[in-house]
Amino acid sequence: MPKSWDINPAGAPARRSAPSRPQPVAAPRSVARQVPTRRESVRASAPPSRTPLKKQRQLKRRRVFVIFLLLALAIFVLVEVILWQSFLRVQSVKTEGPNANELSAFVLQDLSGTRYMLVPKNSIFFLPEATLRAHILAKFPNVEAVSISPEGLTTLAVTTTERSAVFWWCGASKDAPELSCYETDSQGLIFSEVPLDVGVASTSMLKFYAPLTTPLAPGISPRGSILKNPTYLTGVLQFVKAMKALNANVTVVDLRADEVDLYTPAGTRITYVAGREQQAVTLAASAFPSLSLNNGSLQYVDLRFEGKVFFKKKEDAAATSTAKPVQPAQ
């Protein structure tokens, strides 16, 4: 029996709920579709996290450059360490020739220090041979040639050749002689002082007077100086030989500007113009057989004028000042 408080009493048919009506769904508003451009489509297709190709190449070049720089620096440091090792640096010098003892100490001193503030000057692999040779020639004027060669890794051999003296330079002019004479080569370079005893005893060496390229201050040694007008020297020396062949025993030469005075032991002066040796030799060959040049009877013989030879005897000096011309034989 149904109770009054039962909502759905037993045996009563269940009330069916009315079906719910479907709610209308609002249609979305149509949105105008934008068509992307070609550039935008290409950008959209590329992965957003990928590095551009140009930048990749730049990064790669930078890496290669850094690696190369580090490698070069490592090699440089290694080379520097090796070059500064004592077993690759000159420790002793073997010398042959003039000034051997002085030369050894001078070479070691000259090789001290560094080159370009990086490489030791005495490194056996980077010896400054040209500079060292120039310094040796400047320090020792009596040295004409220098040979430099390494012997092993710590020894340097230096061989020098002594300069040959062709004549003695004894002053700027015959009227203003020096206290000592100096050995001089064929190029006019003064390189060594003649010992006083040798200069007094010797009469065979030709004594030469000529101004220097650079005048010297009082008390300064002329060693290393060069005679003025050195281009005249070859012709003058050849002319002296020619005079000796013609029995004129020339022992003194005085080079004055472009004129040359030659003196025999008896005091006879032979004058000619420098650079005109051939003309003077021709005149001398024609006139000298009739003249006595070595007995002191002649004051001078003048070969400066073409086609004529002038001479003066010593006894004529007080009587007349006119020289006697001699026409050379045709």
What are the chain's domains?
86-162 (3.10.20), 167-326 (3.40.50.11690)
Q: Cα dihedral angle (191, 196, 197, 201), rounded to 10 degrees?
A: 80
Q: What are phi and psi of 30, to 5 degrees?
A: -70, 130
pLDDT tens for each residue of the chain, 330 residues long = 555 555 555 555 555 555 556 565 555 555 455 555 655 555 555 555 567 888 888 888 889 999 999 999 888 888 878 778 888 899 999 999 888 889 999 999 999 988 877 888 888 888 899 999 999 999 998 999 999 999 988 999 999 999 999 999 999 999 989 888 999 999 999 999 998 776 555 667 899 999 999 988 888 899 999 999 999 999 999 999 999 999 999 999 999 988 999 999 999 999 999 999 999 999 999 999 988 888 888 999 999 999 899 999 887 544 333 444 555 544
Q: What is residue 198's predicted lDDT score, i.e. its pLDDT?
A: 67
Q: What is the DSSP letter of 111?
A: T
Stated as kind and residue range, the H or E segment containing 117 is none
Q: What is residue 246's predicted lDDT score, i.e. its pLDDT?
A: 93
In whole angstroms, what is the distance from residue 72 CA to residue 288 CA? 80
254 C-beta neighbours (distance < 10 Å), count? 21
Q: Which residues in the chain belong to E strands, given as ranges?
A: 92-96, 114-115, 119-120, 143-151, 155-162, 167-173, 176-184, 190-193, 207-209, 252-256, 259-263, 269-273, 298-302, 309-313, 324-326
In whole angstroms, what is the distance from residue 218 CA to residue 142 CA? 22
* Strand 298-302 to 269-273 pairing: parallel
Interior/surface letters 136-172, b for 16+ CB within 10 angstroms, e for the rest:
bbeebbbbbebebeeeeeeebebebeebebbbbbbbb
The sign one gets for the Cα dihedral 197, 198, 201, 205 is: negative
Whole-angstrom distance between the N-terminal and C-terminal Cα of the chain?
A: 190
pTM for the structure as a whole? 0.67
